[in-house]
């Protein structure tokens, strides 16, 4: 009688992803917290800036600072339930590739960030944004949200894997994640600025290239380092 074959990376990743999304659907916590944070931040910016509308560089900065801080909430919660309930130890004991956990966690965080990003952009356009973007500008902004969220998900999953091994995981998450996200934030805020300005604006190719390169580099780093992080 032959021994059972261990699950492939994709099948194990699908199983973990299904579990993550099912848990969030049944008891929404992370998405709700991130969305409420964005709404609260926009209201605070409205009164703190003392103006009803913003545009250009200021609008880009407000939007992406809010989305980045909201993302930290999702990053901080990535492995908490698994650690507290023994799910992480159970996965490490299973004959499944460790990269499957990386793929599932990064995909889960990416989905959460996309949902919050779309909701936040729509809410921002209602509460604070002065100019009304055209359809092409909305499409360009959606592309930026996808590229930026992919990079945040990859970096966030890698950092969450490090932070969950420490007692001060909330502090470690912010200390490590924010410096690593600086290149991404510079690129995405610069690329978003013309899209949120009065008059027609288009994406600049160099910022898109920088975002794509950032995603590629940290995707490879996360894949190469994740096995060692969760084992330790």
Give the pLDDT confidence of 56-86 residue by residue, as tens digits: 899 999 999 999 999 998 888 777 766 666 5
Burial 35-46 (b: 16+ CB within 10 A, else e): bebbbebbeebb
Is 109 in contact with 74 (CB distance < 8 Å)? yes
Closest of 106, 56, 115, 138 to residue 218, by C-alpha: 106
Residue 129, SS3 per DSSP: strand
**Residue positions counted in the chain:** 232
Closest of 159, 146, 148, 147 to residue 221, by C-alpha: 159
pLDDT given at position 88: 63
Reported pTM: 0.89
* pLDDT tens, residue by residue, 117-170: 999 999 998 888 887 788 888 898 999 999 999 999 999 998 888 877 777 777
Does 2 score more than 50 pLDDT? no
């Amino acid at each position: 009688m032959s021994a059972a074959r261990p699950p492939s990376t994709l099948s194990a990743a699908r199983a973990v992803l299904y579990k993550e999304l099912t848990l969030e659907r049944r008891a929404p916590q992370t998405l709700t917290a991130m969305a409420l944070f964005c709404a609260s931040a926009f209201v605070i910016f409205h009164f703190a800036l003392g103006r009803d509308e913003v545009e250009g560089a200021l609008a880009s900065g407000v939007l992406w600072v809010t989305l980045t801080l909201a993302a930290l909430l999702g990053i901080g919660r990535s492995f908490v339930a698994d650690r507290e309930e023994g799910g992480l130890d159970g996965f490490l004991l299973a004959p499944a590739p460790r990269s499957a956990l990386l793929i599932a966690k990064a995909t889960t965080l990416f989905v959460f960030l996309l949902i919050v990003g779309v909701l936040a952009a729509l809410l921002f356009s209602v509460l604070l944004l002065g100019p009304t973007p055209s359809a092409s500008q909305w499409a360009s902004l959606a592309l930026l949200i996808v590229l930026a969220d992919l990079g945040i998900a990859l970096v966030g999953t890698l950092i969450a894997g490090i932070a969950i091994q420490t007692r001060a995981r909330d502090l470690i998450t912010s200390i490590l994640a924010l410096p690593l996200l600086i290149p991404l934030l510079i690129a995405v805020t610069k690329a978003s600025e013309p899209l949120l300005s009065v008059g027609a604006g288009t994406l600049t190719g160099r910022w898109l290239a920088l975002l794509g390169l950032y995603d590629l580099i940290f995707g490879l780093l996360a894949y190469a380092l994740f096995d060692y992080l969760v084992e330790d």
